[in-house]
Amino acid sequence: MGSQFDSIQEAVSEILSTIPEHVTLLAAAKTRSLQEVEAVIAAGITHIGYNYVQEALPIITAVGDRARWHMIGHLQRNKTKDVVENFDMLETLDSWRLAKELEKRCSAMGKTMPVLVEVNSGRESSKTGVTPGKVIELVEKVSQLEHLHIQGLMTMGPRFGDPQESRPYFQITRKIFDQLAALKLPNVDMRTLSMGMSNSYLVAIEEGANIVRIGTRLFGARDD
């Protein structure tokens, strides 16, 4: 564990040296052990993202409020109760049906849930998210819900390849972000633009990202 702990500490320091202070480094912890998550927290990273609810729950139970928990994977409606109860932010709101289910769960708990709308900026059939032309319509509808607070947008961009190829996707998302900010809708506070991963986070920051989701550069390559 010692060498692994040291390598994570070094990776955190290296990444933080490349990003501005206003940018939040979110550790994408899919498939990672409790020990790895603890090492990231010890290195000063307090925002942790998970793709799968069931994988996250035992880690959240063990770590508790020493970190802020982001749901960064596609959320099925039958998992909304777990997310509302255990996560601090949902980054993948992608439909009105999901919004209504989240509203129901939040209302029952008396909780307001910060959410980001996931933008399928590349219009890729293999990815979830709202296509660019439908984002504003969805946000306008969700803004009428009492217990969901839209705080911005999220987009993925390509996981591999030339990071510069991600730039158009980030630019599209930033444009929609600015359009929504100008509308000044109720329950909408466009403060968060979550874009970029290990391969593309520097380009994402250049295009306005203030959350970057990094896994491989922190922990090393995943088995999958």
CA–CA separation, 83 and 102 (whole Å):
9
Q: Is pLDDT of 142 > 80?
A: yes
User: pLDDT, tens digit, for every residue of 76-98?
Assistant: 999 999 999 999 999 999 999 99
CA–CA separation, 140 and 217 (whole Å):
36
Q: Where does 68-222 have alpha helices with state H?
A: 80-86, 96-109, 135-142, 167-183, 201-206, 216-219
Tell me the domains of the chain and their CATH numbers. Answer: 2-219 (3.20.20.10)
Q: Where does the chain have alpha helices with state H?
A: 2-16, 34-42, 53-63, 80-86, 96-109, 135-142, 167-183, 201-206, 216-219
CA–CA separation, 49 and 202 (whole Å):
19
* Predicted pLDDT of residue 68: 98
Closest C-alpha among 68, 23, 46, 13 to residue 5: 13
User: pLDDT, tens digit, for every residue of 171-204?
Assistant: 999 999 999 999 999 999 999 999 999 999 999 9
* Predicted pLDDT of residue 163: 86
φ, ψ of residue 220 to 5 degrees: the values are 95, 170
Q: What is the mean pLDDT of residues 48-75?
A: 98
What percent of the chain clears pLDDT 70, i.e. is strictly above it? 95
φ, ψ of residue 46 to 5 degrees: the values are -115, 5
Q: Is pLDDT of 1 > 60?
A: no
Q: How confident is the model at residue 145 (pLDDT cuts 50, 70, 90)?
A: very high
CA–CA separation, 69 and 47 (whole Å):
6
Q: Is pLDDT of 159 > 80?
A: no
What percent of the chain clears pLDDT 90, i.e. is strictly above it? 87
